[in-house]
Chain A
Amino acid sequence: GENVEQHPSTLSVQEGDSAVIKCTYSDSASNYFPWYKQELGKRPQLIIDIRSNVGEKKDQRIAVTLNKTAKHFSLHITETQPEDSAVYFCAASSEDSSYKLIFGSGTRLLVRP
């Protein structure tokens, strides 16, 4: 079945620096790749997503890139702020697999003031 690997598991950056989180997926049929932010004790919330017909998408300080050939996608956060501190999950899904999300294991991001 589909597998999504995510790294690093923890990431500590200075406020204002950039943060990059990388994921790889195994199922070539995957065509939808969302990123969720989850604060402690809260629900996962979508921060950005990308579909397989584009290679890059940007929303203010957040961007996602997708390399279908290599089956990997990355989250880029620029000008990090303390409120960006949370756990970030990547996920992959496809219509073939009922749109169920297969999540990575998460990255705990700490932004130091």
Chain B
Amino acid sequence: GAGVSQSPRYKVAKRGQDVALRCDPISGHVSLFWYQQALGQGPEFLTYFQNEAQLDKSGLPSDRFFAERPEGSVSTLKIQRTQQEDSAVYLCASSLAGGEQFFGPGTRLTVL
């Protein structure tokens, strides 16, 4: 079956622009995670959904970051008024409850 997909794969934004990143999880996976991976670093947790409920958003770096999963499937990570420090790869992962997390290919965001 299809794995986790993300779009766009690459996004270039001017500082101050808003961006929206999409994640399509594996069908049937109730858990969905967003991570941020800076160049040369390990992924860092941003937020977690169980179905449509956002149960943990402790990793979101500022109130410019917002995530939603309204129907318990596709998720969108939105970044408002992008800053240069937001440049990173944004990874989405999905899993069965408590199971192995399968990662998407990521969206590479570059803020100029």
Contacts and interface: CB of A to CB of B under 8 A. Distances in A.
A complexed with B:
yes
Interface of A: 6, 32, 34, 36, 42-46, 49, 89, 91, 95, 97-106
Given A43-B91, A43-B103, A99-B98, A104 B42 contact: yes
Contact of A101 (B56, B101, B104): B101
A90 to B, nearest CB: 9
Q: Which of A49, A98, A102, A103 has the most CB of B within 10 A?
A: A98
B59 interface: yes
Interface string B16-50: 00000000000000010101000011111100100
Contacts of A106: 40-42
Contacts, number: 53
Contacts of B102: 46
Contacts of A99: 31, 48, 95, 98, 101
Contacts of B35: 101
B88 to A, nearest CB: 14
Contact of A44 (B40, B43, B48, B56): B43
A44 B59 contact: no
B103 A100 contact: no
Contacts of B93: 101
A13 B98 CA distance: 35
A102 B41 CA distance: 12
Q: Which 4 pairs across A and B sit closest by C-beta, in order of nearness? A: A103-B42, A98-B56, A100-B45, A43-B103
Contacts of B72: none
Chain B, interface size: which category?
Answer: 20 to 34
B56 A100 contact: yes
Contacts of B91: 43-44
Contacts of B48: 98-100
B58 to A, nearest CB: 8
A43 B37 CA distance: 11
A43 B106 CA distance: 7
The winner among A46, A49, A103, A104 for most chain B CB atoms within 10 A is: A103
Given A43-B91, A44-B43, A89-B43, A100 B106 contact: no
A91 B95 CA distance: 15
